């Protein structure tokens, strides 16, 4: 019994240290964002909200960047939910040759360096005048975030019992009704958890966006990089604090509606 | 003209022919069992009737209407799946009312029908549970209720009792029969269990490798199997090959091995002639055994005994080197290796021409 107690104590210590390593920088950022001085210092000297005010200042483009990033992430995620769910169903419900190849192809964007992918996309789209910077970045994001939705959806569909769909058909449901009343509601938790990951990745993406960006359209991560080239004050810490709060809120909402275990259970 | 007519139905998967030109006519309100081992094509037939797969040739018609090219959701064929296939995200009531809601029935009518059917399968008070909260037997009754509530033209049951323990099995057998009779449903039940088939169905269809071996009433297929294959499936054993060497009235003599003959009295001896190569079979429980030599009994040696609770399976090696299996209920048996006498009663033996 003594031995067991000792191990328990050791594990507790390791867990606490691990969490401190993960959480400490975030806590520092939150504290720094309320710092009164221009130079980032720790421990903080004086309390101030001026960096938060700075985000929303008239000449600041952070709000525009934030809205652009949200718009981009929402459109790309919605688009990929449709493609991802249909693609996942096609490779799980039907068996055909080269099925494995198709699955690899669907998930391959995960393994291509985004700098290389961004460069290719820049080359390809440079001469296409009809594509606005928004559309260029959107195409890039649609491709790179697709694997997150497909992998999650495939996870649940590989163990999906298709006789359930047959049962619904025998009860009088046409294929459209089977999909919306049976298949989709059953796979929804996995699709949503994949969509959340995809959304966050798109929102956070900086490499492809910075290659394809223009003065008229910048995303928040690009805006932050641009800002930091000239100034190094706690405004970025204030933005980071807001973003962390939003992420936390999304997680809590997700947990409330579909359960966080859907995120880890695949 | 049957209510459900299957006409030269064929299904091929690549080189494999799963169902070979099957013909079957089922009357309205009749319950027919498709009986066969795994891979005999019985489930494939069911799936073609339901409309999940299209046949390569032949037709399925219900009430005179050809069903080919009519999608599953327009056929009004209720199907019960072996794994139940309940909708996991819906409660019992939502599962059962699914088909009624699709028909845009009035709320009050739906409620009435759902309540009636849940009463019929004895699931009152379970309406708001989710399938995962129910026991296997309860889930099964939900699946049955869901298929019944749509008032199908044809009801298909795919191995309905295979996942249940023996007590629940008995109960459900009675239930299914009762409900089927009450609603006068034209029903096909697919099973690999001959007892289930003969106790539930009005007619039994025995299948092997995509073909029908025999169609008949339960008593007929159970007691007079048409081929040795059917006989084996219906629980016959003690298959012995031989040649008829002598025949006098009902008394025939079969040579089962070089120089070894067996005398057997057979009621339907007229169908046989001297020189015919034959296969003889009898159920193990019909074999008579005795510790002492009696008239008409042959001698053998006990090689193995398996105690099965209410009976004992006795493996005998006969004096002419044939293995004989007998089931003994209440006799005090000699020990293994000791001598025993056995006989085949003439009305229990079947002799097939090869």
Nearest by CB: B73 against A164, A174, A186: A174
Q: How many angstroms separate the CA atoms of B182 and B177, rounded?
A: 9
Is A184's Cβ below 8 Å from some Cβ in B?
no
Statement: residue A262 has pLDDT above 60: no
Tell me the fold of A61-264: MetI-like fold (1.10.3720)
Chain B: residue whose CA lies nearest to A177: B102
Chain B: residue whose CA lies nearest to A185: B89
Q: Do B71 and A169 touch (CB under 8 A)?
A: yes
Beta-carbon neighbour count of residue A208 at 10 Å? 24
Q: Do A171 and B71 touch (CB under 8 A)?
A: no
Q: Please give, rounded to a whole number of angstroms, the shortest distance from the CA of A68 to a CA of chain B.
A: 37
Contacts with A129 (C-beta within 8 Å, 6 or more apart), sequence order: none
How many contiguous H segments (helices) and E segments (strands) does chain A have? 13, 0
Is A164's Cβ below 8 Å from some Cβ in B?
yes
| Higher pLDDT pick, B234 / A4 | B234
Q: How many angstroms separate the CA atoms of B292 and A122, rounded?
A: 99
What's the N-to-C CA distance of chain B in angstroms?
34
- For chain A, the structural domain boundaries read 61-264
Q: How many angstroms separate the CA atoms of B18 and A23, rounded?
A: 62
Is A172's Cβ below 8 Å from some Cβ in B?
yes
Q: Do A161 and B85 touch (CB under 8 A)?
A: yes
Kindly tell me the burial class for residue A182, based on how many C-beta atoms sit within 10 Å of its own C-beta (0-12, 13-18, 19 or more).
Answer: buried
Interface test with chain A among B72, B146, B155, by most A beta carbons within 10 Å: B72
Is A79 within 8 Å of A205 (Cβ atoms)?
Answer: no
Cα–Cα separations (whole angstroms), residue B31 to A11, B26, B76, B154, B227:
65, 8, 17, 10, 23
| Domain co-membership, B50 together with B194 | yes
Q: How many angstroms separate the CA atoms of B233 and B221, rounded?
A: 10
String of DSSP letters for A6-26: HHHHHHHHHHHHHHHHHHHHH
| Domain co-membership, B218 together with B158 | yes
Domain that holds residue B80: 4-233
Mean pLDDT of the A104-133 span: 87
b/e code A113-147 from CB counts within 10 Å (16+ = b)? ebeebbeebeeebeeeeebebbebbbbbbbbbbbb
CATH number for the domain spanning B329: value is: 2.40.50.140
Q: What is the ipTM of this complex?
A: 0.81
Cα–Cα separations (whole angstroms), residue B149 to B134, B138, B160:
20, 16, 17
Interface test with chain B among A172, A186, A192, A262, by most B beta carbons within 10 Å: A172
Cα–Cα separations (whole angstroms), residue B78 to B186, B187, B315:
10, 9, 46
Is B152 within 8 Å of B76 (Cβ atoms)?
Answer: yes
Write down the pLDDT at residue B334: 79
Q: Highest-confidence range of A7-11, A141-145, A247-251, B227-231, by mean pLDDT?
A: A141-145
Q: Please give, rounded to a whole number of angstroms, the shortest distance from the CA of B52 to a CA of chain A.
A: 7
Instruction: With residue B170 as reference, give the H or E element that holds it.
Output: helix B166-183
Confidence of residue A266 (pLDDT cuts 50, 70, 90): very low
| Domain co-membership, B229 together with B290 | no
Q: Please give, rounded to a whole number of angstroms, the shortest distance from the CA of B203 to a CA of chain A.
A: 25
Q: Do A171 and B81 touch (CB under 8 A)?
A: no
Backbone angles phi, psi at A25, to 5 degrees: -60, -35
Please tell me the total count of domains within chain B.
2
Rounded to 10°, the helix B136-149/B166-183 angle is 10
pTM of the complete model beyond 0.90: no
Is B193 within 8 Å of B161 (Cβ atoms)?
Answer: yes
Interface contacts A/B by beta carbons within 8 Å:
66
| Domain co-membership, B8 together with B71 | yes
Enumerate the residues of chain A whose CB falls inside 8 A of the CB of residue B113: none
Nearest by CB: A170 against B50, B88, B89: B50
| Domain co-membership, B229 together with B277 | no
pLDDT digits (tens, 9 = 90+) for B113-162: 999 999 888 888 899 999 999 988 899 999 999 999 999 999 999 988 87
CATH number for the domain spanning B107: value is: 3.40.50.300
Confidence of residue A265 (pLDDT cuts 50, 70, 90): very low
């Amino acid at each position: 019994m003594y031995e067991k107690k000792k191990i328990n104590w050791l594990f507790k210590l390791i867990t606490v240290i691990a969490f401190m390593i993960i959480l400490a920088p975030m806590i520092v950022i939150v504290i720094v964002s309320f710092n009164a001085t221009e130079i980032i210092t720790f421990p903080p000297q004086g309390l101030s909200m001026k960096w938060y005010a700075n985000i929303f200042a008239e000449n600041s483009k952070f709000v525009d960047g934030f809205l652009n990033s949200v718009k981009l992430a929402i459109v790309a995620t919605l688009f990929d939910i449709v493609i991802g769910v249909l693609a996942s169903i096609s490779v799980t419900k039907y068996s055909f040759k080269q099925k494995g190849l198709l699955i690899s192809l669907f998930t391959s964007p995960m393994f291509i360096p985004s700098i290389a992918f961004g460069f290719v996309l820049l080359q390809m789209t440079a001469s296409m005048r009809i594509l606005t910077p928004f559309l260029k970045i959107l195409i890039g994001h649609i491709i790179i975030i697709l694997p997150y939705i497909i992998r999650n959806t495939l996870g649940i569909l590989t163990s999906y019992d298709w006789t359930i769909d047959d049962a619904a058909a025998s009860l009088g449901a046409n294929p459209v009704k089977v999909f919306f009343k049976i298949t989709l509601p059953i796979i929804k938790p996995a699709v949503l958890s994949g969509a959340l990951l995809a959304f966050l990745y798109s929102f956070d993406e900086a490499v492809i966006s910075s290659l394809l960006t223009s003065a008229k359209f910048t995303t928040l991560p690009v805006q932050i990089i641009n800002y930091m080239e000239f100034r190094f004050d706690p405004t970025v810490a204030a933005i980071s604090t807001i973003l962390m709060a939003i992420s936390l809120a999304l997680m809590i909402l997700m947990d409330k509606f579909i359960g966080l275990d859907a995120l880890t259970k695949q | 003209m049957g209510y459900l007519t299957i006409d030269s139905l064929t299904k091929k998967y690549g080189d494999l022919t799963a169902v070979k030109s099957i013909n079957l006519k089922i009357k309205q309100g009749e319950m027919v069992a498709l009986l066969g081992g795994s891979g005999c094509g019985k489930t494939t037939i069911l799936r073609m009737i339901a409309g999940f797969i299209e046949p390569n040739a032949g037709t399925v018609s219900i009430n005179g209407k050809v069903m080919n090219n009519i999608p599953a959701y327009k056929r009004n064929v209720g199907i019960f799946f072996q794994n139940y296939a309940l909708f996991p995200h819906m409660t019992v009531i939502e599962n059962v009312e699914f088909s009624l809601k699709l028909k845009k029935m009035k709320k009050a009518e739906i409620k009435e029908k759902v309540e009636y059917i849940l009463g019929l399968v004895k699931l009152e008070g379970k309406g708001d549970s989710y399938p995962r909260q129910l026991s296997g037997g309860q889930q099964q009754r939900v699946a049955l209720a869901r298929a019944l509530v749509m008032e199908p033209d044809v009801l298909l049951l795919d191995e309905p009792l295979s996942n249940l323990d023996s007590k629940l099995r008995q109960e459900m057998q009675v239930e299914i029969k009762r409900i089927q009779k009450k609603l006068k449903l034209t029903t096909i039940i697919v099973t690999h269990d001959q007892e289930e088939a003969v106790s539930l169905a009005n007619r039994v269809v025995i299948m092997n490798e995509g073909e029908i071996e025999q169609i008949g009433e339960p008593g007929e297929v159970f007691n007079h199997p048409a081929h040795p294959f059917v006989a084996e499936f219906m629980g016959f054993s003690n298959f012995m090959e031989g040649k008829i060497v002598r025949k006098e009235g009902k008394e025939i003599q079969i040579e089962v091995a070089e120089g070894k003959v067996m005398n057997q009295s057979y009621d339907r001896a007229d169908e046989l002639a001297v020189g015919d190569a034959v296969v003889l079979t009898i159920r193990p429980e019909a074999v008579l055994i005795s510790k002492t030599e009696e008239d008409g009994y042959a001698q053998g040696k006990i090689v193995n005994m398996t105690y099965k609770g209410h009976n004992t399976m006795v493996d005998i090696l006969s004096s002419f080197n044939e293995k004989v299996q007998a089931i003994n209920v209440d006799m005090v048996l000699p020990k293994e290796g000791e001598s025993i006498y056995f006989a085949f009663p003439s009305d229990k033996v079947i002799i097939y021409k090869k």
